[in-house]
Amino acid sequence: MKTHTDKSIMVFLQEIDRKKDFFHSVDEVNKYNLNAIIELIQYDNIKNYGDPLYTRHELRKGIKQYLQDN
């Protein structure tokens, strides 16, 4: 699995939020639902691309930053 830059993760998260309104119903992120969000993203990526694309650590860091910025 490749590691990606923080910028590419942010672009990826912006894209899924824009296309699927992914974070619309997320009021609060905590350690429990953050893990579930990461699982959903990785499952969808494996289903669509055959690869999770990002590590759990990369997604965790990116999601926290994305939600903080938006």
Asked whether the beta carbons of 41 and 17 are under 8 A apart, the reply is no
Buried b (16+ CB within 10 A) or exposed e, 30-54: eeeebeebbeebbeebeeeeeebbb
Q: What is the C-alpha separation between 10 and 59, in angstroms, rounded?
A: 9
- Tell me what pLDDT residue 28 has: 84
Query: How large is the average pLDDT for residues 58-70?
Result: 91
pLDDT per residue as tens digits for the range 6-35: 679 999 999 999 998 988 888 888 888 999
Q: How far is CA 20 from CA 3, 5, 15, 38, in A?
A: 24, 22, 8, 15
